[in-house]
A and B are shown apart, each in its own frame.
Chain A
Amino acid sequence: MPARGNVEMLVTMQPIAVNTGSDDRDGMLVMANGMLVAVLVQLATPDHEHEGDWFLEVALGPLRAHLAPTFANLDDATRWMRQRLRAQSDCLPLK
């Protein structure tokens, strides 16, 4: 169950190799409160204008609704995802 109020959502990452069919292989599984919410991949394809950035390769659940930029680092990516996951959990009806 998503955290609410003052409880910070726990976002953790686990490195994983991702087959994107390209040179972009280094990825991170992103978990929010223990649930997989996204897969990030670092852009390593030569000539890409954002080479080195982290790309939201797969978005799950509430993150699917958002158009994500690429992120200069994992902290930026975490902040971006946390904001959207929190906004979503705020919208959930309280039980």
Chain B
Amino acid sequence: MIVRGRLSDLWWTIPLKRNGLMQHALIRKLESYETLSDKDRRALNALVPRIRQVGAHVDLAREGDPPDNVHLILDGFACRYKTLADGRRQIMAYLVPGDFCDLNVFILDQMDHNIGTISQCQVADIPRQAIEEITADYPLITRAFWWCALVDEAVLREWLVNMGARAADQRIAHLFCELHARLEAVGHSKDDSYAFPFTQTDIADTMGLSNVHVHRTLRDLRGMGLITLKSRILTILDVERLKVFCKFNANYLHLKNARWIDRRSVIWPSQSQGG
């Protein structure tokens, strides 16, 4: 079938196979954590999600709402956030293509935070019933779901470290390194460049900094020849230098290429160096 966007975004007119696009993204994501069997893949292929295009700055779930479907981001960027009584916003997570917004949250009675889009997003809504059936019958898929949840928690821990213990420039550099690694893993980064629809205010609300500090820091990082940011495309000019600058260690992302998948008893490089 052909799905058409609004006139203003006709570039988005693409053929969309309802059964296929989501499964491809989903299976790719899960297989980065667990090797699935044909039986598992057949079960995932049998899912019939609703795929929809959502505009930028639209809430997919609001604090207080009873959670409904499980949302999977197929394209675009979303975030988890809370709004404080004085109107301040704190962003606690960025969700990129392949990320579940709320895999296990449907178990809860109500949402304790908001999930909203940053850019225009393509979102798959998977009925919670389908997730419950799959987790009851397919242990490998369930294990892969655990991986997803564990990595989300690991990222949250790292963000906590970022907010509490890194200076503003390293904090933002660390975020750029993380997004680079996560987007590269799902094929959304090319030549160390990726779409960066976040505004300075988005970064400020994420990093616990003022707009002024974010502006100064981005200028510094550009001045040091580490990044460029043009037309909402972020380019890391020297990935290794940027990683050294903020002491980025991707271990917490548990990406397959960093996991030594068949040799789990082998210690990680950081440990072998006494790190």
B83 to chain A, nearest CB (A): 13
Q: How far does the alpha carbon of A50 sit from the alpha carbon of B210 in the complex, in Å? A: 13
Residues 204-248 (chain B) with a chain A CB within 8 angstroms: 210-212, 215-216, 219-220
What residues of chain A lie closer than 8 Å to B86, measured between beta carbons?
67
- Interface size range of chain A in the complex: 10 to 19
Q: Is the CB of B216 within 8 A of A22?
A: yes
A67-B86, A67-B88 in contact; A21/B220 too (CB < 8 A)? Answer: yes
* Interface secondary structure of B, over-half rule: helix
Closest to A70 in B: B212
**Most chain A beta-carbon neighbours within 10 Å: one of B86, B88, B211:** B211
What residues of chain B lie closer than 8 Å to A20, measured between beta carbons?
216
Q: Is the CB of A48 within 8 A of B215?
A: yes
When each residue 84-117 of chain B gets 1 if its CB lies under 8 Å from chain A and 0 otherwise, what string results?
Answer: 0010100000000000000000000000000000
Q: Is the CB of A21 within 8 A of B216?
A: yes
Q: Judge whether A43 is part of the interface by a CB distance below 8 angstroms.
A: yes
B15 to chain A, nearest CB (A): 40
Q: How far does the alpha carbon of A33 sit from the alpha carbon of B220 in the complex, in Å? A: 37
**Most chain A beta-carbon neighbours within 10 Å: one of B86, B211, B212, B216:** B212
Residues 42-90 (chain A) with a chain B CB within 8 angstroms: 43, 45, 47-50, 55, 67, 70
Q: Is the CB of B88 within 8 A of A45?
A: no
A19 to chain B, nearest CB (A): 12
Closest to B216 in A: A22
Q: Is the CB of B88 within 8 A of A43?
A: no
A50 to chain B, nearest CB (A): 8
When each residue 8-24 of chain A gets 1 if its CB lies under 8 Å from chain B and 0 otherwise, what string results?
Answer: 00000000000011101
A78 to chain B, nearest CB (A): 19
What residues of chain A lie closer than 8 Å to B211, measured between beta carbons?
49
Q: How far does the alpha carbon of A48 sit from the alpha carbon of B212 in the complex, in Å? A: 8
Q: Is the CB of A22 within 8 A of B88?
A: no
Closest to B200 in A: A49
Residues 1-43 (chain A) with a chain B CB within 8 angstroms: 20-22, 24, 43
Q: Is the CB of A43 within 8 A of B212?
A: yes
Closest to A51 in B: B215
B224 to chain A, nearest CB (A): 12
**Most chain A beta-carbon neighbours within 10 Å: one of B210, B211, B215:** B215
Q: How far does the alpha carbon of A62 sit from the alpha carbon of B210 in the complex, in Å? A: 18
Closest to A56 in B: B210
Closest to B212 in A: A55
B228 to chain A, nearest CB (A): 14
What residues of chain B lie closer than 8 Å to A24, measured between beta carbons?
212, 216
What residues of chain B lie closer than 8 Å to A47, measured between beta carbons?
215, 219
A70 to chain B, nearest CB (A): 7
Interface residues of B (CB under 8 A from A): 86, 88, 210-212, 215-216, 219-220
> Considering the complex of A and B, which 4 residue pairs feature the smallest CB-CB distances, nearest first?
A22-B216, A55-B212, A48-B215, A67-B88
Q: A45-B216, A48-B215, A67-B88 are in contact. List 11 more A-B contacts (CB 8 A).
A: A21-B216, A22-B216, A22-B220, A24-B212, A47-B219, A49-B211, A49-B215, A50-B212, A55-B210, A55-B212, A67-B86
15 contacts between A and B (CB under 8 A): A20-B216, A21-B220, A22-B216, A24-B212, A24-B216, A43-B212, A45-B216, A45-B219, A47-B219, A48-B215, A49-B215, A50-B212, A55-B210, A67-B86, A70-B212
